[in-house]
């Protein structure tokens, strides 16, 4: 219902009705992936992808940028599994805690279709990568793009950004832990091992 103005009257002495402020819908996971997919057009040039995504985020209100970060955190949590960690380890020739985090950033940056396919079957990573030698499958800078956009929009430190302070992963990834033994890795990730096992 429209609110009444307290200090103005209409031409016949009636209170002027002031329409309520328009509510902006939160940025949901679908909108999150739309932005990521748009930036993934520049996936062959990581710096250009960051610029493209930052530009898209800069046009949003600060609350929606915070929403993007919240959804990003949720997607990162979904991908925190031993099965995916093992795949990252094979593909990158090893994966530390930080290395696995940056791998998941890289995977998210590839867009929803690739992310969901590899999450459902980590060994399929061998099929979604282009033929030929691959560099390190990590993208650390992708983790900071929303925080930097929010800081630029608000003039505040990104540590003050909603959700950032509460970001805590489970103590252990989900699923069954992988074994570093080459025989076990080759059995668990046959396609990846055939392509990257010599790393």
Q: For residue 86, what pLDDT is reported?
A: 97
Both structure tokens of 134: 């691959």
Write out pLDDT tens, residues 143-154.
Answer: 999 999 999 999
The model's pTM: 0.84
Q: Are 145 and 54 within 8 A, CB to CB?
A: yes
- Bridge-partner residues for 81, per DSSP? 174
Q: DSSP character for 189?
A: S
Using DSSP's 3-state secondary structure scheme, residue 6 falls into strand
Instruction: Determine whether 40 is exposed, middle or buried from the number of CB atoms within 10 Å of its CB (0-12, 13-18, 19+).
Output: buried
Buried/exposed code over 114-151 (b: 16+ C-beta within 10 A; e: otherwise): bbebbbeebbbbbeebeeeeeeebbbeebbebbbbbbb
Hey, what are 89's tokens?
């380890």
Give pLDDT tens digits for 99-136.
999 999 999 999 999 999 999 999 999 998 865 556 77
pLDDT band at 161 (very low <50, low <70, confident <90, very high): confident
Mean pLDDT of 72-93: 95
% of the chain exceeding 90 in pLDDT: 71
Phi first, then psi, for residue 4 (nearest 5°) are: -90, 140
């Amino acid at each position: 219902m429209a609110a009444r103005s307290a200090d103005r009257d209409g031409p016949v002495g009636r209170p002027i009705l002031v329409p309520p402020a328009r509510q902006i819908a939160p940025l949901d996971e679908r909108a999150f992936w739309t932005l990521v997919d748009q930036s993934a057009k520049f996936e062959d040039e990581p710096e250009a992808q960051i610029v493209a995504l930052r530009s898209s985020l800069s046009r949003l209100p600060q609350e929606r940028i915070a929403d993007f970060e919240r959804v990003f955190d949720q997607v990162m949590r979904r991908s925190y599994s031993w099965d995916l960690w093992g795949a990252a380890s094979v593909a990158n020739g090893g994966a530390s805690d930080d290395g696995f985090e940056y791998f998941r950033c890289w995977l998210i940056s590839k867009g929803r279709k690739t992310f969901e396919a590899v999450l459902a079957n980590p060994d399929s990573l061998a099929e979604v990568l282009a033929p030929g030698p691959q560099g390190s499958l990590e993208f650390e800078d992708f983790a900071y793009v929303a925080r930097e956009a929010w800081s630029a929009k608000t003039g505040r430190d990104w540590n003050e950004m909603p959700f950032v302070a509460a970001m805590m992963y489970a103590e252990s990834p989900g699923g069954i832990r992988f074994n570093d033994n080459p025989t076990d890795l080759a059995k668990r990730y046959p396609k990846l091992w055939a392509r990257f096992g010599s790393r």
